[in-house]
């Protein structure tokens, strides 16, 4: 680590004004808020939840070694899932947060996923039973060592049907009444605008985690839906903010990560976001955004928003247009997400988990002489499937 980086981290750390971690113990919510103001962390209120989150949060999957630095720098919003690495991140978070004042962090967690949603009908399958939500939550609470989770999310919502599935909403309401969760959330990276509007009109959801970035073809529709949902009181959390990290699948041309994050957070209706920074460089970039949101003209140019000749890159729009075209009708959007996790984020574990969640163990493309799919991003699906399938063989 060079000197300037060391200095940057030192300045960013809670060492500022003598705010050591130990001095944070037993803080009331108001005093913690004051600490954040002294740190000059930009915070926003997550809709009707009233929770004040740092505008940059942290998605924790295989990066928990950065948790102490993130926490000490004022990042107070943490998202994880028991589905990641069989709950190991939950355990790691639990160990780290033990003895920290409960008011000093907001935990969002979730259940569900591609495994339980038919990619064509976009309805839950019978395999996903409501008891599973309660069991999943209980295991998560135990691993985290907490009495309650702040926002508990039904994951991978992709349609109005999945967002408003009555039996699951009933379970979440019961868990809220019992005090095991404070607020009901959902997450979506397909048909985001539909899910956001359904959740906003439901009067049941309190927050939504949505895919949102400058590369999404439907970003204007999502922006409008975010504004609608925010006006109705939902807390809005953005994910996939850096759109696959690289412009190209050879990882030679990196997206301007700071500019991408600022683009998302310039929208005041987005209250926080969960980039999954996995190394010190990425952490530094994201942290700097938390204190200064100015998007310079040069940064905006870097995003090439109106450039129709953008490289196909790694970011799958999750539009689902490929599904009806494929001879074998498999869950291409989920496989392309796995590809992005592996080749963009360098997160092999998450890539494997995504394939496992849809039981994707054999290459369905080997029997096709040529690929019938015309992907809206220009992806060579057959090649990408060939490249990603062997990831199953890599040991954890």
Which parts of this chain interact with ligand SF4 (CB under 6 A)?
A: 316-322, 326-328, 332-333, 336, 364-365, 368, 371-373, 375-377, 379, 381-382, 385
Beta partners for 153?
Answer: 110, 185
Which CB atom, from 64 or from 187, has the smaller least distance to ligand SF4? 187
User: Which CB atom, from 19 or from 319, has the smaller least distance to ligand SF4?
Assistant: 319
117 forms beta bridges with 124
Distance CA 148, CA 285 (A): 32
Q: How far is the CB of 329 from ligand SF4 (least distance, A)?
A: 8
Tell me how far, at minimum, the Cβ of 195 lies from ligand SF4, in Å: 16
Cβ atoms of 232 and 197 closer than 8 Å: no
* C-beta of 288 vs 325, nearer to ligand SF4: 325
Look-up: residue for tokens 């599973």? Answer: 132
Closest to ligand SF4 by CB, 55 or 365: 365
Q: How far is the CB of 160 from ligand SF4 (least distance, A)?
A: 19
Closest approach, Cβ 369 to ligand SF4, in A, equals: 9
Min dist CB 134 to ligand SF4, Å, is 32
Query: CA-CA distance, 258 to 293, in Å (whole number)?
Result: 9
Residue 322 backbone zone (phi > 0: left; psi -120 to 50: alpha; other: beta): alpha
The least CB distance from residue 377 to ligand SF4, in Å, is 4
With 0-12 / 13-18 / 19 or more C-beta atoms within 10 angstroms meaning exposed / middle / buried, residue 359 is: exposed
Give min distance, CB of 279 to ligand SF4, in A.
Answer: 27
The residue among 172 and 222 lying less far from ligand SF4, judged by its C-beta, is 222
Is 77 within 8 Å of 53 (Cβ atoms)? yes
Apex 31 CA angle, 25 and 37, nearest 5:
115
């Amino acid at each position: 680590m060079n000197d300037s980086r060391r200095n940057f981290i030192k300045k960013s750390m809670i060492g500022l004004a003598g705010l050591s971690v130990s001095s944070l113990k037993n803080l009331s919510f108001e005093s913690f808020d004051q600490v954040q103001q002294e740190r000059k962390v930009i915070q926003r209120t997550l809709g009707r939840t009233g929770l004040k989150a740092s505008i940059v949060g942290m998605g924790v999957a295989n990066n928990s070694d950065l948790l102490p630095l993130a926490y000490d720098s004022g990042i107070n919003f943490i998202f994880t899932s028991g589905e990641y690495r069989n709950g190991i991140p939950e355990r790691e978070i639990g160990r780290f947060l033990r003895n920290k004042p409960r008011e000093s962090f907001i935990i969002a967690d979730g259940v569900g996923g591609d495994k339980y949603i038919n990619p064509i009908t976009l309805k839950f399958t019978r395999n996903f039973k409501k008891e599973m939500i309660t069991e999943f939550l209980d295991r998560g609470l135990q691993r985290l060592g907490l009495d309650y989770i702040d926002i508990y999310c039904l994951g991978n919502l992709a349609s109005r049907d999945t967002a408003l599935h009555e039996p699951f909403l009933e379970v979440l309401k019961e868990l809220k009444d019992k005090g095991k969760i404070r607020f009901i959330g959902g997450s979506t990276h397909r048909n985001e605008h539909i899910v956001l509007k359904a959740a906003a009109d439901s009067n049941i959801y309190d927050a939504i985690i949505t895919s949102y970035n400058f590369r999404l073809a439907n970003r204007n529709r999502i922006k409008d839906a975010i504004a609608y949902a925010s006006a109705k009181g939902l807390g809005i959390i953005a994910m996939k903010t850096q759109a696959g990290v690289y412009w190209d699948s050879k990882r030679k041309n990196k997206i301007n990560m700071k500019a991408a994050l600022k683009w998302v957070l310039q929208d005041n209706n987005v209250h926080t976001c969960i980039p999954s920074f996995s190394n010190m460089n990425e952490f530094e970039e994201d942290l700097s955004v938390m204190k200064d949101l100015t998007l310079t003209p040069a940064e905006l140019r870097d995003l090439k928003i109106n450039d129709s000749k953008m490289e196909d890159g790694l970011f799958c729009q999750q539009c689902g247009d490929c599904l009806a075209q494929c001879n074998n009708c498999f869950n291409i959007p989920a496989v392309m997400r796995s590809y992005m996790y592996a080749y963009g984020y360098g997160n092999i574990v998450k890539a494997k988990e995504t394939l496992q969640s849809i039981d994707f163990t054999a290459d369905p493309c080997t029997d096709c002489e040529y690929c019938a799919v015309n992907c809206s991003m220009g992806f060579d699906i057959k090649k990408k499937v060939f490249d990603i399938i062997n990831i199953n063989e890599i040991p954890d």
